[in-house]
Chains A and B, each alone.
Chain A
């Protein structure tokens, strides 16, 4: 083995040099390489006195706390997204219903006035209970943190209210509310909308 090659080999094995017969033979017959090898050994000894960095107990505790927080945030991200959107959905639904009631209430001769006054809808349920029904659906979704199961709003009047709202105000502004609707209700809404509307 040529000297240059031999020294590179020693450098590659720096820290773990094992002198086999061939290496010992070269070192014995080559003072330059022997000197080189000795230098490497000294360098190794000097670097080896470096202390291994270790986390202190306090540092580990801090790191663990940070990691815990990050993992919690990561794990709740999906759940929080749904809670967030449904919370806004609930607010929106309330606003939408108030607007609707005000709107229909102002229309002369509209039977909603009578309905409202009597407290009953055309399908025989009270407006209060219709509102409650919508809120029950939305709040139900809110409380179920990791699933989005929404029971169908199976009342024609409620469907009509949402449908009329969609017709009057456009549906695109309201994805949070729509997110709380079942496929059936969604199809109902779609059927009420004209081509070219958002959905």
Chain B
């Protein structure tokens, strides 16, 4: 755990509300990025982040310092998000900015526009099964090691790797013509 988080967690566990607020501040963007990419809706993502921090507040005493605080939060957020997706099958997407989108090197008769490519990419990621999508997000975007993802999801590391590989394979297949 980052030493900063560790100290804050100890203070928060002893009832220091300011320390808890700091933990929220330091981790909010990580949780938001995940919940937003998973759900594709800002309000839903905000609700899930709030739920995550509320659960963390309630269960703070049960948190053991051997784990990373952010891993613990990722675990709560992941479960909440998967449950949400289970409850309501909504389309999710990766928001693509397109600012640095490289222009096609040359025009082809059937070339597609950047925005069309964004849309396709978005759709392809959204179409991944929830668990593969979660693992893809945690690994590719949040750049967590497979071992940590395995701990977060309480799965074997090889299962996590297989899921990630399947996700990449699906993305590659569905975006075959996007080149």
A residues within 8 Å of B by Cβ? 8, 11-12, 14-16, 39-40, 42-43, 45-47, 49-55, 59-60, 62-64, 66-67, 70-71, 74
Which residues of B does A touch, CB under 8 Å? 21, 24, 28-29, 32-33, 36-37, 42, 45-46, 49-50, 53-54, 57-58, 94-102, 117, 121, 125, 139-141, 143, 161, 164-165, 168-169, 171-172, 175, 178-179
Closest 4 CB pairs of A and B: A51-B97, A53-B36, A11-B168, A14-B168
B169 / chain A contacts, CB cutoff of 8 Å: 11
Select from chain B the residue with minimum beta-carbon distance to A38.
B179
B102 and A50 form a contact (CB under 8 A): no
A74 → B minimal CB distance (Å): 7
Please give, as numbers and ranges, the residues of chain B lying within 8 Å of A53 by CB-CB distance: 32-33, 36-37, 42, 45, 95
9 A-B pairs (CB sep. < 8 Å) = A11-B165, A11-B169, A11-B172, A14-B165, A15-B140, A40-B172, A46-B175, A52-B33, A64-B21
Query: Given the complex, which residues of B lie within 8 Å of A42, measured CB to CB?
Result: 179
Residues of B within 8 A of A54 (CB): 29, 32-33
Could you tell me the distance between the alpha carbons of A25 and B141 in the complex, rounded to whole angstroms? 29
Beyond A15-B143, A71-B54, is A50–B97 a contact (Cβ under 8 Å)?
A: yes
Contact across chains for B96 and A50 when beta carbons are under 8 A apart = yes
Q: Which chain A positions have C-beta within 8 A of B99?
A: 49, 51
Residues of B contacting A8 with CB < 8 Å? 165
Contact: B46 with A59, CB < 8 Å? yes
Contacting pair A49 B101 (CB below 8 A):
yes
Q: Which of A15, A71, A74 contacts B139 (CB 8 A)?
A: A15
Contacts A49-B99, A49-B101 known; list 12 others, CB within 8 Å: A14-B140, A14-B168, A39-B179, A46-B121, A49-B96, A50-B95, A52-B33, A54-B32, A62-B46, A66-B50, A67-B53, A70-B54
Q: Which residues of B contact A47 (CB under 8 A)?
A: 94, 121, 125, 140, 171
Report the separation of the CA atoms of residues A12 and B172 in the bound assembly, to the nearest whole angstrom: 13
| Residue of chain A at shortest CB distance from B37 | A53
Tell whether, in the assembled complex, residue B98 and residue A49 are in contact, meaning their CB atoms are under 8 Å apart: yes
Q: How far is the CB of B12 from chain A (nearest CB, A)?
A: 12
Chain B residues closer than 8 Å to A71, beta-carbon distance: 54, 57
